[in-house]
Amino acid sequence: MGTHPTVTAYDAIVRHTDAQPTDIRPLSGGAVVARLNDRTTTVVAKPAAGPNATAAEGAGLRWLAEPGDVPVPHAHGWDDDWLVLDYIEPAGGSPSPAAAESFGRGLAALHLRGAPAFGSPPPDGPVDAWIGLAPMANDTTHDDGTWATFYARDRIEPYVRTAVDQGIFGADEAAVFDAVCTRLPELQPGTEPPARLHGDLWTGNLHWGTDGRGWLIDPAAHGGHRETDLAMLRLFGAPHLDRILGAYAETATDAGNPLATGHEDRVGLHQLFPLLVHTVLFGGGYARQALTAAQQALRATR
């Protein structure tokens, strides 16, 4: 549930851009788009989805943009009520295969920039963050600092507990996810270092601009496993997905960091996070998908 802004979008744009907005028009979700009086810049003001939401997204945008590997809208600034960032005009049609491959190469490079730890927030980002309309913890105070501990504690267990409280999962279903958490070290072998993740990389957050490039928007950025971003991108599909993934794999290999053997068999394991988020937000078929993914992950190593 979103907050009720105490200042207007107009005031927020003036505060964070030092310019006067003109031609203001509404977008979905309470956001507005406006042309600045310099006549060259168009911005979006997004209302906060909840406490810390603007800080989490703004810090995430700047962290992802910092190396310049993938286009990311410039975040002008934020406060408790609004995030103000550049508006990227959407393309009218599908991207070209070359654009998809370029995005895949950039995403691989971005992931390899790394993060301080699994679960680490972006610099100056809050621990209590958001993924869409669901709360999400970016917390590095894990017992052992491993991906398995982080993924179980902050990306599976909180959403399973919420789903149980909502009456979506019973004890038997919850036990399946508990078994996944217990076996995560064997289900995801290896010791990859933390990657710099977008964190909510479904196809709607891969924005194809009129400049022909794929832009990253609406992040839930944190330090995590790069297979999670790739699995999320597969969840709802994307234009030229095979080109994106092929260019990604080639770039990672050329950089001396190929994807680990069996990564395609672990897609469901890494989709548990977004599926469980969707379960607590929307219920229905997402709960069945999450349970099926968990059961398949457990069978994969038997």
- Supply the residues annotated as catalytic: 200
Q: 216: Cβ–Cβ under 8 A, 6 or more apart, which residues?
A: 64, 70, 71, 72, 198, 201, 205, 206, 207
CA–CA gap between residue 122 and residue 197 (Å, rounded): 10
SS3 86: strand
Beta strands in 48-91 (DSSP E): 75-78, 82-86
What's the token pair of residue 178? Answer: 């508990």
Beta strands in 66-184 (DSSP E): 75-78, 82-86, 128-131, 134-137
- As to burial, measured by CB atoms within 10 angstroms (0-12 exposed, 13-18 middle, 19+ buried), residue 119 is buried
* DSSP β-bridge partners for residue 45: 32, 84
What's the token pair of residue 6? Answer: 């105490």
Strand ranges of the sheet holding 32-36, from the earlier edge strand across to the other edge: 21-26, 32-36, 42-47, 82-86, 75-78
Q: Are the C-beta atoms of 130 and 53 separated by less than 8 Å? A: yes
